[in-house]
Amino acid sequence: MNNISKKRIIKIVGRSFALISFLMMASCDPDETQTVATFDKLVMQDEFDTDGVPNSALWTYDIGTGPNNDGWGNSELQYYTDRPENVTVENGYLLITAKEEALNGSNYTSARIKTEGLFEQAYGRFEARIRVPYGKGYWPAFWLLGNDCDQNAWPQCGEIDIMEYLGDMPTTVFGSAHGPKFFAENAISKEYVLQNDRFDTGFHVFGIEWAPDYINYYVDDVLYQQITKEDVLEETNGEGEWVFDHPFYIILNVAIGGDLPGSPNTDTVFPQTMLVDYVRVYQK
C-alpha cells in the first residue's frame, strides 16, 4: 500500500440543536424532519499514524469463527486472526485484509478488531473514514455493540450498524439498528446509494449521531436516516424495546460470505483490503 497518498481533512463536528428539513442527494427518501444535536468535544480518536499493530490501548481482537463456531451467527466463512497479514497499521491507515487461504478449517482469513473493555460510550458522534473492497462475498462493516452482551444476550444488548456494505453492490451502504423484536432480517434499516461514484474507489466518512431518544445516520455528512424510540414501537407493533441507553463499543471487520452477502464466486478477487483513515468519537 506504499503508493497510497494520504490526504487528511480534519473537521470539527458542531451542529446546532434544531429541527430541520433537508433535501437528500441520494436515491433514497429521507424523513421529512430530523433532530440534529451538537457533538463537538473529541473524546476518542485513532488516526493510525504509527505503523505496526493497532494501538493496544484502544483495540483488541476477536479470533476464530465465533463462540459457537457457527460463523459468528451468520454462517460467515472466514477465520479471524490477529496476524499482521490480516490486520496492520501502515502509512497512516488501518488495513484489514481478507485472504483466500486455509486456516483451522476455514478457507478464508480476515480480522475483526474492537474497543471492548477499552473504550465504551453511550451517546455521541461516532465516525470513520473508510475505503472498502469489491466483489461478491465481501461484507465489511463499522458498527457498535452493547457492552452488556455477556449479561443480556444479543439482541437484548443492542447493535448499531453505522456502515454495512456488500461487495457486489459498490454504490450502496446500509445503516441499521437491532434490538428485541427488530433484529437480523427484521432490523430497522435504510440504504444510502451513492450517485456517480463507488464506495470501493475512494474514501467516505460514515457516522452516526446518537442521543437518548434517536440515532441519526450519515454518509459524508449527508443525513439520510433517523431511528427514534417511536420508530421502534411502530415497526414492532408496540413490542420492541429501545435498548440504546447504555455504553457500546466499536467494531471494525471484513467478513467473507454468510447469510447476507452469499459466498464469493469465481470473479471475486483475493486478497483485498479495507482501509480506515481514522476513527473519531465526540460528545456534547
Q: Which of 127, 164, 185, 209 is catalytic?
A: 164
- Residue 244's pLDDT is 98
pLDDT beyond 60 at 165: yes
Q: Reply yes or no on whether 76 is catalytic.
A: no
Domain assignments of the chain as residue spans, ordered by start? 40-283
- Residue 2's pLDDT is 38
- Residue 38's pLDDT is 81
Q: Which of 76, 127, 159, 209 is catalytic?
A: 159
- Is the peptide bond between 271 and the residue preceding it cis, with omega within 30 degrees of 0? yes
- Residue 34's pLDDT is 65
Q: Reply yes or no on whether 159 is catalytic.
A: yes
* Distances from the Cα of 220 to the Cα of 44, 165, 194, 245, angstroms: 20, 15, 10, 26
First to last CA, the chain: 36
pLDDT interval class at 215 (50, 70, 90)? very high
With b for 16 or more beta-carbon neighbours within 10 A and e for fewer, the 144-153 pattern comes to bbbbbbeeee
Mean pLDDT of 196-212: 97
- Residue 33's pLDDT is 56
What is the tens place of the pLDDT at every residue in 239-263? 999 999 999 999 999 999 999 999 9
pLDDT beyond 50 at 10: no
pLDDT beyond 50 at 27: no
- Residue 23's pLDDT is 31
Q: Which fold has domain 40-283?
A: Jelly Rolls (2.60.120)
What is the tens place of the pLDDT at every residue in 35-52? 677 899 999 999 999 999
More confident residue, 10 or 227: 227
